[in-house]
A and B are shown apart, each in its own frame.
Chain A
Amino acid sequence: MANFNLRKAEPKDVPDILRLIKELAKYEEMEDQVILTEKDLLEDGFGDHPFYHCVVADVPAEQQCSLTGYSVIGFAMYYFTYDPWIGKLLYLEDFYVMKEYRGFGIGSEILKTLSDTAVKNRCSSMHFIVAESNKAFIDFYKRRGASDLSLQEGWRLFRIDKENLLKMSAEE
């Protein structure tokens, strides 16, 4: 199997994007955490001011795996962020290729496309999060020159969820 195509996601890809998001979450044992719907993805990714961008990998009909029956078999979700010291950055939110289609260079090609997008948009850097338990991914990225800012510089990602966000926004 060698034929695959990388392209910008279209509204019709939304059901497949959600399916792949859930598959990736399942792999991370967090499937119940996905509350996003197709409606959210459509509104947030394909309106006037998209919150995210997506590339998808698809295979021609004749190469659809008879087990899965899908033609969209990989995706990456990203958006642009900003560091006031160095300017624009590309943030890689999700990156996944279905198990049956790994080992054919699709993941590497997606990463290449995204890096190219980052460079063309004059981004200084590409940022992303990896769970420390995911040693395979950390090594994959480190081999390609990524630094672990949490280990090297002590960056800790903090979050405040909706309930506390509401409390905080009500404070005078």
Chain B
Amino acid sequence: MEFTIRAATLEDCKDISRMILELAEYEKVSDQVKIAQRDLEQDGFSKNPFFHGIIAEVPEHLKSKEGHTKVGYSLYFYTYSSWKGRAVYMEDLYVMPEFRGKGIGKALMSKVSQLGLAAGCTQLNFTVLDWNKSSLDFYLKQGCWDVTSDLGYHCMRCEGDALEHLAQGGL
């Protein structure tokens, strides 16, 4: 299938927002999405962006049933390992269901890898939900390894009231 991978622009935020919701629905948690198109515009396309995006686009004659030509995306940002230095974190990777199995997901991930390496990164990190068997299999085939399983690393979060309480010195 014909497609191109390119850097996301401000104008892509509408489609990125649409696809974020589609991905959240796929992960069965769309009620948790609090970020809107304008937040993405501000957070990703101002002077100090908090993330970067890439888009997979198909030509007009291959557009989706609803008329979309932007059919996949990845959001990533740079992080730091205190052991190895610069790293890249792939926060989201998504291809619309009707465009899967055509190499678009792999191409998006390949692009993030290229960009990460160009920025001096030695690792690409991301999280996968344990029930997402098809994604788990896809990633393991690409040469990724499961850090949670192999090293026992658990992802922890402190948010909302707990974060506020901690900030006020509540122990």
- The chain A residues found within 8 Å of chain B, CB to CB, are 21, 24-25, 30, 33-36, 40, 44, 51-52, 77, 79-88, 91, 93-94, 108, 111-112, 115-116, 118-119, 124-133, 138, 141, 144-151, 153-172
Contacts and interface: CB of A to CB of B under 8 A. Distances in A.
Contacts of A116: 167
Nearest to B32: A85
A151 B152 CA distance: 11
Given A118-B167, A158-B126, A150 B148 contact: yes
Q: Which of A33, A44, A149, A159 has the most CB of B within 10 A?
A: A159
A167 B144 CA distance: 11
Interface of B: 16, 20, 24, 32-35, 39-40, 43-44, 50-51, 75, 77-86, 89, 91-92, 106-107, 109-110, 113-114, 116-117, 121-131, 136, 139, 142-149, 151-169, 171
A154 to B, nearest CB: 4
Contacts of A87: 34-35, 39, 43, 50
Contacts of A158: 125-128, 139, 144-147
B84 A36 contact: yes
A36 B20 contact: no
A68 to B, nearest CB: 20
Contacts of A124: 159-160
Contacts of B117: 162, 165-166, 169
Contacts of B163: 115, 118-119, 125-126, 145
A21 B136 CA distance: 32
Contacts of B82: 21, 24-25, 34, 36, 77, 93-94
A130 B167 contact: no
A170 to B, nearest CB: 8
A118 B81 CA distance: 19
Contacts of A172: 107, 110
A133 B81 contact: no
